[in-house]
Amino acid sequence: MAMLRTRESFWRRLLAGTLPLLVWSLHFAFTYGLAAAQCTPAGMRPGGPDRVLLGAVTLGAIGACAWLAWRARGVPRRDDAGLLDWARLVLAVLALVAVAWTGVPLLLVAGCA
């Protein structure tokens, strides 16, 4: 029974360590998939992709990554922090930058061309 708790704790910690990358990958797939779908000749929207929806999703993903980074902020002060704890912190900051970088085309692209 103790081994079951150890495995459960490991998988929970592994998910917590990789959750920022999952947020970024879901944001990337959704935003670029929506932009591609709305810019195809059959689904062409006047004015280009729905920038309000894409902006809201981007702000939500930035908020999620910032919240994950905030939760992991105590890792540098802990003496018993392991690799997954550090991964949680570093990947949350990396995903925050990646989501912001992925959202830059929202500011630059005015429509489908």
Q: What is the pLDDT along the chain (113 residues), one digit of tens a residue?
A: 455 554 557 788 778 888 999 999 999 999 989 888 888 877 777 777 888 899 999 999 999 999 999 988 877 767 776 777 778 888 999 999 999 999 888 877 777 76
Predicted pLDDT of residue 8: 58
Q: What is the reported pTM?
A: 0.80
Distance CA 19, CA 68 (A): 8
Predicted pLDDT of residue 1: 47
Q: Which two tokens stand for residue 14?
A: 């592994």
Predicted pLDDT of residue 7: 52
